[in-house]
Each structure stands twice: as C-alpha cells, then as structure tokens.
Structure 1
C-alpha cells in the first residue's frame, strides 16, 4: 500500500525530530548552569571601550537570593565607568534582564566609587576593572527554569570623550564572586537620619567614634539633590557622624528617603539608607572645606585673641576710636579708677561678643543661614545704630550731656561698660586677619568651645584698654587730663558724624530711598530732642522728660512709616572696572568650565576692610590689564543684605563673614583662599602666574 510506505517515512522523520529535540535538551542541561554562549544580537553601539560579561553564582533556587555579576573591563586605563548617580556629568548603567515574571530583581550593589573633578564638575567613577552585583530572588518557576539568563546593558565609557556602550548579555558560570562581593560597599546595620535646612542637607550616620576616617566623603544616590562638587563638612557627636552637604541650586531641594555610600578613604566605605529625622548639632569637627585638617583649639584661641587685638587698628573700627581715645585719656586720673574702668570696659566688650556669638549660634541651629556681622544686614538694627551714632555725635559736639559716655573734666565717671558694649557691637562686623579661621571654626564647634572663641575675640579687642588700666607705666605715657579733652571731644564729633552719614547711606542700600528718608526724619527728631535736653541741662532744669515729648512723635512716625515703605534690595551688579558679574553657583560653574582662571570675591557695603581692599587692590587699572591679558573671569557676591545662598557658600569655605577672596586656577579641584588684606599687586601677580 502506498500509505504503508508513506507512514514509515513519516515515522522515521518523526523519530529523527524527537532525537534531535532530545539532543537539544541534553545540550541545554549545561546551559542551566549558564555555560552556553549563544550568538549575541547585533549591538547598538558596541562595547569596545569597556567590555562587560555577565556571571551567575551557582544555580537559582526559588525564594533564595541568587547573585548575578556584571564584570566591566576597560580596554585601556584612560576609560572609566560610572556609579548609579554619576554626579554632575555622565550616565549610570541601564540594565534589562530577561527573567520569568515571578522573579524579583533587587537594587544593584556597587563598590565605593572615586571622585573625579573636571572643570569644577564632580564625577563618581570607577577606574580599571570593576564589578556590579545584582541580587535576584527566583520565584516558583525556578524549578523548571532551563536558562540561560540573558539581557542587555547600556552604559557610558569616558576619557577625554564619552562613548555610549551597549552589550547583549548571556550569563555564564565562574567568576571570582568572593573577591567581587568583598569589593562591594557593605550595608550599614542601622538606619541613618537626615534633615534639610535652608540650603544644606545634614545626615546623621551611626558610626563608632573609634573608627578612623582618613578622607570621608558621602556619595548621595538621590539624583538632583546635592551639589556634588561642593565641600562637605563632617563632625563627630559621640557614635554619630554628622555630614553637612550643600544642596544643588537647581535640584529638587527635598527628599522623603535618602540612600548613599559613606567613603572612609582608600576605596573603603559603607552604604546606608536614611529616613527623615532629627540630626544632632555641634560635635567635634573632622573634615571641612577642601578636607583640610581642623586647627587645634589652642591655635583657634590664639587666632581669636590676635584677631580681636588687631581690630583696634583695622579701618572698620575707626568710628569708635574716638570713644576709646577719650576713655584712655581719662584712665590717667587715678589708679583705682583706671583699673575699674579697664575691667568695666572689658566686661562690656566680652559680654557683647558673647551675646552676638550666642545669638548667631542659636539662629543657625534653628536653620537660619546667617554669618558674622548679621546684625548689619538687618535694616532695623542699622536704623538703631544710625540714631545712636547721631546721638553720640550730638554729645561730642556739646549739644547735651549723657553721664554714661560723658568725658567732661570733673564730671561723672565714664560709663566704660556701656562704651565696651558699643565698641564691640560696632567693631566686630569686620573679620580681620587671624579671625577668619577662628570664627569659621566657631560655627562648627560644640557650643561651649564656640562661645570660648567669641569671648577670646572680645578679650583681644579689650586688651589694650585693660593693660592701660593695670599697667601704670603705660598710663603715664598718656597726656595729662585737662581742658584739651573738651576740645578733643568736639573734634571727635567729626568722625562720628561721618559714621552717621555712612549708616544713613547703608540704610538706603538696605531699605530704599523712602526708607532712608524716614530714618533721616527720625534722626532729626532725636537730635532736636537732645538739643532741647542740653538747653535744659545747662539751665539746671529737669531735662529728659522734655526729650521724650519732642522725640516721641518722630519715633511713632518712624515705627509706622519704616515698615510700610521698606523695599528689599534686589540682586544688583556692582560697578567695577573688572566687569564683575553677580555671584551664583551656576555662574561659578560656567566660569570654571571655560578653563580660564576665576577670581571670586565677597564684599558688603558696611565692611570697611572690603572697601579698602577694593580701592587698593581690586579696582585698579593694573589689575584690570593683568586680568584682561590672562582671561580672568571675575564674580562678586554682595552680602550687604542677607543672602542665604552666599551665607551657605561662605560656610562651605570655612568663612564666617566678609571679606573673602577666592582664586580658581584653571582645572583646579579647589580654590585658593587669598589673604583678607590684599596688597596692591597681589591680584595682578596671580593673573600673571596663570598665563
């Protein structure tokens, strides 16, 4: 029968097909162990810069963690790959695995990355071969899984240029899983806490105080949250490490949870997860801007003392020298009185510095972004100082007598304590030489040590007057008291009047012209009241109630009018022959990315030291010519009014106030901080050295 011949033929073909199927199944058995290497699909970009191979550790078992490893091997040392958060540039890995739907793929586990700063941009990279582990938990279908695991991965290889890479993956057995697992940053066994205040992310990471940290750095996994290239500050609070990291100016500014890696240095670190919570303040500083070692406390104390002492000759203190000069002359009348006034004056200065320091620390602990001299950024405080300067001018000019600061021969003992309070309040806004490190550290130290530094600053400021009170030979060098003191007092009304004019100008800068006009009306009313008071004093009549009657209407007018006309100052470009642009982090990053040197300085209209430096060293034709020839970009931060972005940046640089001068050499990882007192040719020499 024809059918008999056909069916045996079909049977033989079927048998051959079955045998072939059995053979393929037998060949597939090793493939379950991931040894098979089928022909890859055509790659999109190739992987010739950094090759990658996928490995599997053993056999998959349902419900048990199974590790896959992506082993990357650069073709040459100059090629590097990226962490999950690449930083300011680059791209992380994108992995796709072909797995049954009931299998779960966990978060990839990475080694501790390295930092690479190029043109002011921070990259989180891996150099040389590196391995990323991917945990997988197989589902019930693992029992019948025939393998192999396949997938694709897209990543970036960079050197001088960046090249997209793509690889088709097929898992294989083998690989050095013990070494790869040891290279992965281990998880911290306790939850960390974090808080965002102002422009800063603060993280409290549980870490034994005995653990040494040679070069700490936090790699934050959250995208668009922190400024990666900004300096990070670290402090110890018992067994907690507190890290402070500036936020990204163009980021989200918020997070519900936080993940990252804390690097200890030398490629060692731990990965952590953090929830929102309380982060302790204070603590012992470990590392700060540019990871510089923190100065010893005794050096900070000496710096605060020297800084306070030098404030006596700094230009910004000249407005109060009149008070101190008259007080020093009066100190020669008797030894007991000189000592008493020396102690009272010192107490006033130290108390004022402690009060300002304590208020500064309290406000910063509450999340306020403020720095040293914050009082002169408050329009109300400046108006009060304006009225006070006008009153002192009237007193020196002889319009009235105020026993607290009177220096009349034979009159009441001078109120040295009040003079000390006023001297410190007016003088301390200037951050002179030696003070910068001490006050910058005070913002990071525990409260008792910080207050000690503020007290030492006040003691240094008061030291000359205190020495005159207790060292008779020094007092004998002073002129003898006499009628000349009354003439000297009237002459000293001139610098105090100039101080009042400067404060009036600052009032306009802070609140606008209408604000300044009303403040001037208030001053006129107060001076009129003092004039009437002086007339009554000379007639031997009760004087101060009359002052209240005259000044009260002006005061009421000011209390109503000043808030209603106040105009907050807006960012403005300062007039400069250097074509300086207003500071912002974006402008700084753009300027540094150009590959040219950058000069960044911070100033304020109330900082006399800043103004002297600008006249003597910055706004000079020789500086402009040198900058033009070297292609220097100039940025200026105006801190006259409160500016949280500038305050945060100053804190990152370890500065408590202005002036601050930074020089960024091309492609430098960190700026060079220039002296606070600039010599005329310093900037021109810096520019010439970069050509």
Structure 2
C-alpha cells in the first residue's frame, strides 16, 4: 500500500511534467520575461587555469523563484548544454545557499530574488585565448511562483577574447557555499540516512538543515524532504539524520531497483546564511543514542498530545479570551438544576456542539494547509466578514440578555433545558474561544498540524472535549449538580448582569473592525448593527404580544444581515500597529536575520488585535516602563509580528516553531537559537531575561 502523501507528490510531479510539455520553450533572447539570465565572465581566460563564468538570474517580479540542482519534491533542476572549444572542459555548477519553500505539502529548494550560479571551465595550457571562438550554452530551467511554473530556455554566447573583469563577481563568489575540505561519511538505517560531517566543535549552529544533492538513494528509496531532520553533535562531528521513504510509482509500473550510492553530496545549512558543501562516502557513522541537539527525535506520542489537548481545552474555560462566553455557560449551568435526565441531555447537547465546532475548525485548517495555505488556529478571525459576523452576534446576545427578545431554548424563564439551545451554545462557545490558546495547547495544536491528518483531527476533538468537560461533569455527576444554586428569580437578574461582559465583547469587536478597516468601514458595519438591533426589537415586540410573525421577522433579519455583510467592501490594508514602549521593528525574515547578526539579544512577540490573551500579556509584561528600561540597558532588539490579517512570513515562523497560532514569544540570546517563552507572561519575566543577557562584570 503506497502512502497517500507519496501519491500526492507523484501526482504533483506528473502535473508539473505535463505542464512543461504543454508550454512552448522560449528559444530566443536571454532567458524569458519570467526569469531572464545573463552569461558573464569573471575576466579573460588564461591558458592552463580555471576560467569562471556566471549565469546571473534576474526574476522579472519578486514572486518568481528558481531552483537548486536538486529541486526537492517538485520543480526541475537546471540543465546546461555547452559548446566549447576543443580541450576546454566544464566543471560542476556552483550554487549559493538555497531556501526551503513548502507548497501544498511539497518541499521546494529555491532561490528568491537575483542569484548567480558559477561554472568553472578548465582552459588547456596550449589554448590560444586571444583568438578563440566564442563559447555558447543552452540553459533549460524552470521559473515558478506559488501557483504556476513556466519552463524557460536561454541560448547565451560569450566571446572569451572580449571578456573583461566584472566587479559583481566578488559578491557572487561570496554567496557560493564553500566546499568542506574533509570527507563526510554516510550510512543507512531502515528509516533514515545518517550523514556524519566533520564540523569544528566551536562552530555556531543555527537553524540546521541538510540539503541533499543526491535525489535517489537506491533500493527504491528517496529523501523525505518534509520529514523532521535530527541533528546530533559531539566534539568535531555533526551527524544529520534524514528520513527516507519509498519512491512513489503506480502499481502497474515496474522500475529497476538500483543499489545504494557509493557517494552522496549536499549542502549543510548552518543557519544565518552560512553553509558548507560536502561529499560523503559510505562508512560507519557513530553517535548512536546521543541526545539530538535539533529536530527533537521521535514524534510526540499520540496519547500525550491528546492528553495535552484535553487539559488545554479544560483550562481554556478560564482564559481571558473565553470570559465573554462564560455568561452563556453560566446560564446553562443554572438551567441544569432540573431533573437528572434533562441535565444529562443538556450536557450532551452542549458537548456535541463544542466538539463538532472544534473538529470542523481543525478539519478546515488541515485541509487548507494540505493545499499550501499558511493558516493556523483562529485563522477565521483574519477575515473581516467573520469579525463583522461576530460583532453582530455579540450584539444579539447582549440584546437577548437585556430582554429585548427571546431565543426559544436559550431563555431562562424557568422552562426545561433545550437540547437545540445547548447545542447552539456549544457551537458558539468553541467558535468564540478560538482567538485564545492556553497552557498545554501550544504543543498539542502545533503538533496536530504536522502529524498524520487523522491523528491531528483527533487532537482537535480532544480539545473540544476538554472545553466541554465542566458541563459533562455537571450533567453526569449529581454531587456537582447539587452544589449549583437552585433555579429562581435570581436567574433573571443574573441574566441582565451578563449583558455587561457581552456588551464589552461587542465593543472590543467594534474596535477590531476599526483596526481592520478604519473609520469608514466601521461606519458601514455600525449601520448593519443598528439594523440588527432594530430587527431584534421588532421581533421581540411580536413575541411579547404573542403574535406569530416573530419567526418570519428573525428569518428575514438573518437574510438581510447576511446579504449586507457579504456586500461590505473588503478593507484594502491593515491598520498600522499600535505604538509601543519598546519601539519594535516590524517582523520579517530579513529583519530577524539582521537583528540576530548584530550580536545583541532579540525578543519577538507575535500578536493579533483579536487575541485577548495577547493584549493581556502586553499590558502585564510587555508594555511596561520596567521592561523598556531593562531592554534599553541590555541592548535588546524588539520585533513585533502582527497577525491580525494574514501574513505568510509570520505563518511560516509559527509553523517552524510548532505553534498553531498566537500568542508566540521568542527570545534569542546572542548566537543562540530561539527560546520559546510561556504563552502566559508574568510581569517580570522579560525584565529578568534582559538582565540575565547582560555580560557579567
């Protein structure tokens, strides 16, 4: 049985080849309008020496990227056909350090922006370089965006006799990954390729990754490019363990099984733009049983992830971002004071609503991520129309608590609990809880996005069960239920008071609408809000006068508001981030690299305007004068990633850190990797981190 992920990769490769055959090649000019290329010489060739030329690639727009010699799961490596004078010999192309780009679950080894591939050419000792004929090359390569790929062909010529020094070669040479002067060794285990690379113990190790230049490993195996790579270090030896998998082929196709290679090549990315090229020979690779320094070894056990999600969902009941919905929960608890059978029915209905909502959100996230979208927990709150819908919903709940209208099954007039009302309450509780991630949730939800999809879905189900667990205890444990206050007239007063937190929630959502779209957008939304309150008041009037038209009024109002929300113009740009005492730099991968290269401590916080936990942490620990003073004294560079609206670079960072959403807090000590701080910050945590980062005197 062939793994489904492997079949997905095979299908993607088939589609890519079909696209390459279907599109005509560009036969004229330097490359094409997608990815132009120039052939440039470092200078004039000299007899008996190596002459270096460069293929300089210049994407027409930033979204286009090129590929390394081993493109990964998809793409095509560059092919060169040279026409050289007799006796002149071309060497292997030399590449800069590639980047990783995952699209649709497929790993791509790419170059973004301008880049140059250097090609050494050995010139014979007796070559008449003064009157040698021009050389030429036909380059076939691929230019891609995240959505399309276009085959390219460039026919390029260069006259060695007319070649002069090009000052750009200094920069291009510096970008080429240097060759390791010592040989590495490799061996195979049943599930991994182990490569032992001699690296001095004092080498600073950053975000490690091994780019294999050998795409086929023999015996029907290939590298699992998206698998977790583990790194082990002891003394002057660094061992990389790369997972392997069978090559995907259709059942009716037979392929010859080749033996293991005698030699493999690749690039070891040391982090921070540094890397080394290596050549590895078959041999014994030691360090079995040594604790990994990167990669974490085995995946978390499923039951541990389920337990973490269950406890996280339970604790989510007391997190600040869930507090507004506690009003609905409190009313449901009060209603459960009736007979035992009704209490169990009510608890099961509520649980079904919570679990269904969590499972649906989890399934949607997993499906979108499998399609290449960079989304995480609470992704739906990045859509303005969802925020508008929540604002209208919060206003409706506030109006219900104030007695403006009644919802059958959710009102507390002394009647029996309603399964439909409890189910709806569960759906709403889970949906509104998504802006928040509490303790234990970060690891569980982060792992749920990278483990097998069916197991990931179980993690989201466990989260829902944890969120609903207090209601299950009330419904099925009589001792807990007996401790609840007896139903009575106090419930109506309590209901009115619960309008306060829901009203504050509506105000917070109105503020978020303003942050997303500005005053003009908020004004349009408030028109909808006034119409909603007017419609609810009209429906409530029909209810109080015992008229039968209230259902039609509410149904028409829902349709009208849905059409109005759909017709709202989409905000063009996100509002600027709020002022901060720390004067942070806006997060980007380039900004982080520059900050880390400064040799100073770096603190990044990833936040969103819809994340209540984020805002609480900012007030408690980040936006404090003591924090600002400590950061200034220690020279800490602060970066802020605002995820209020979608941002691919932030999404990639969250994925790399195993986080399903915000908040996420990272601390980089000078020369060290990221340290994840707790999701609930204490007031002095950042102050202490800054003080400890100062050099001892």
Please give the TM-score of this superposition, normalised by the length of structure 1.
0.64
Match of 1:639 among 636, 643, 646: 643
Shift of 1:512: 2.5
Q: Aligned pair 1:215/2:220, yes or no?
A: no
Contact 2:516/2:574 (CA < 8 Å) preserved in 1?
no
Q: Aligned pair 1:675/2:663, yes or no?
A: no
**Closer, same or farther in 2 for the Cα pair 1:606/1:235, shift >3 Å?**
farther
**Closer, same or farther in 2 for the Cα pair 1:333/1:554, shift >3 Å?**
closer
Rounded to whole Å, the distance in 2 between the matches of 1:212 and 1:495 is: 44
SS for the counterpart of 1:505 is helix
Shift of 1:413: 2.6
Q: How big is each residue's C-alpha offset from its partner over 1:554-575, in whole Å with a ceiling of 9 and x where there is no partner?
A: 6655543x12xx3233473431
Q: Aligned pair 1:370/2:395, yes or no?
A: no
**Closer, same or farther in 2 for the Cα pair 1:371/1:270, shift >3 Å?**
farther
**Closer, same or farther in 2 for the Cα pair 1:388/1:597, shift >3 Å?**
same
Q: Aligned pair 1:603/2:610, yes or no?
A: no
The count of residues paired between Structure 1 and Structure 2 equals 496
SS for the counterpart of 1:450 is helix
Name the structure 2 match of 1:689: 692
Name the structure 2 match of 1:97: 122
Name the structure 1 match of 2:545: 539
Aligned CA RMSD, in angstroms, stands at 4.5
Contact 2:654/2:661 (CA < 8 Å) preserved in 1?
yes
Rounded to whole Å, the distance in 2 between the matches of 1:568 and 1:480 is: 52
Match of 2:572 among 561, 568, 571: 568
Shift of 1:329: 1.2
Rounded to whole Å, the distance in 2 between the matches of 1:122 and 1:521 is: 57
Q: Aligned pair 1:460/2:463, yes or no?
A: no
User: What runs of 5+ residues in structure 1 fail to find an aligned partner?
Assistant: 1-38, 44-65, 71-81, 108-120, 132-158, 161-184, 192-203, 218-231, 241-258, 272-286
Rounded to whole Å, the distance in 2 between the matches of 1:337 and 1:412 is: 7
Contact 1:346/1:459 (CA < 8 Å) preserved in 2?
yes
Rounded to whole Å, the distance in 2 between the matches of 1:632 and 1:233 is: 35
Rounded to whole Å, the distance in 2 between the matches of 1:598 and 1:212 is: 26
Shift of 1:96: 3.7
Q: How big is each residue's C-alpha offset from its partner over 1:147-189, in whole Å with a ceiling of 9 and x where there is no partner?
A: xxxxxxxxxxxx99xxxxxxxxxxxxxxxxxxxxxxxx89444
Rounded to whole Å, the distance in 1 between the matches of 2:510 and 2:393 is: 12
Match of 2:355 among 334, 350, 358: 350
Rounded to whole Å, the distance in 2 between the matches of 1:212 and 1:531 is: 57
**Closer, same or farther in 2 for the Cα pair 1:268/1:487, shift >3 Å?**
same
Please give the TM-score of this superposition, normalised by the length of structure 2.
0.63
**Closer, same or farther in 2 for the Cα pair 1:216/1:361, shift >3 Å?**
farther
Contact 2:267/2:277 (CA < 8 Å) preserved in 1?
no
**Closer, same or farther in 2 for the Cα pair 1:434/1:462, shift >3 Å?**
same
**Closer, same or farther in 2 for the Cα pair 1:338/1:627, shift >3 Å?**
same
Match of 1:471 among 447, 458, 477: 477
Contact 1:616/1:680 (CA < 8 Å) preserved in 2?
yes
SS for the counterpart of 2:660 is coil
Shift of 1:397: 0.5
Rounded to whole Å, the distance in 2 between the matches of 1:484 and 1:571 is: 44
Name the structure 1 match of 2:410: 405
Name the structure 1 match of 2:295: 291
**Closer, same or farther in 2 for the Cα pair 1:419/1:548, shift >3 Å?**
closer
Match of 2:397 among 392, 397, 401: 392
Name the structure 1 match of 2:190: none
Contact 1:215/1:264 (CA < 8 Å) preserved in 2?
no
Q: How big is each residue's C-alpha offset from its partner over 1:84-125, in whole Å with a ceiling of 9 and x where there is no partner?
A: 5357999998644124899999x9xxxxxxxxxxxxx99955
Rounded to whole Å, the distance in 2 between the matches of 1:331 and 1:289 is: 52
Q: How big is each residue's C-alpha offset from its partner over 1:443-494, in whole Å with a ceiling of 9 and x where there is no partner?
A: 1111110100000000010011111110000011110111111111111011
Q: How big is each residue's C-alpha offset from its partner over 1:368-420, in whole Å with a ceiling of 9 and x where there is no partner?
A: 12111011111111111111111111111101111142222126636111110
Rounded to whole Å, the distance in 1 between the matches of 2:177 and 2:96 is: 7
**Closer, same or farther in 2 for the Cα pair 1:478/1:588, shift >3 Å?**
same
Name the structure 1 match of 2:364: 359
**Closer, same or farther in 2 for the Cα pair 1:206/1:571, shift >3 Å?**
farther
Name the structure 2 match of 1:142: none
SS for the counterpart of 1:578 is coil
Shift of 1:357: 0.6
Q: 1:202-601 to 2 correspondence within 5 Å?
A: 206-207=222-223, 214-215=230-231, 261=266, 290-293=294-297, 294-410=299-415, 413=418, 415-542=421-548, 543-547=550-554, 558-560=565-567, 562-563=568-569, 566-570=570-574, 572-601=576-605
Contact 1:289/1:652 (CA < 8 Å) preserved in 2?
no
Q: How big is each residue's C-alpha offset from its partner over 1:294-319, in whole Å with a ceiling of 9 and x where there is no partner?
A: 32222111111111011000001001
**Closer, same or farther in 2 for the Cα pair 1:215/1:473, shift >3 Å?**
same
Contact 1:361/1:443 (CA < 8 Å) preserved in 2?
yes
Contact 2:224/2:244 (CA < 8 Å) preserved in 1?
no
Shift of 1:127: 5.1
Shift of 1:529: 1.1
Deviates more, 1:627-636 or 1:95-104: 95-104
Shift of 1:591: 0.9
Name the structure 2 match of 1:661: 665
Contact 1:289/1:654 (CA < 8 Å) preserved in 2?
no
Shift of 1:239: 5.8
Contact 1:86/1:92 (CA < 8 Å) preserved in 2?
no
SS for the counterpart of 1:312 is helix
SS for the counterpart of 1:206 is strand
Rounded to whole Å, the distance in 2 between the matches of 1:622 and 1:395 is: 44
Shift of 1:292: 2.4
Rounded to whole Å, the distance in 1 between the matches of 2:557 and 2:95 is: 71
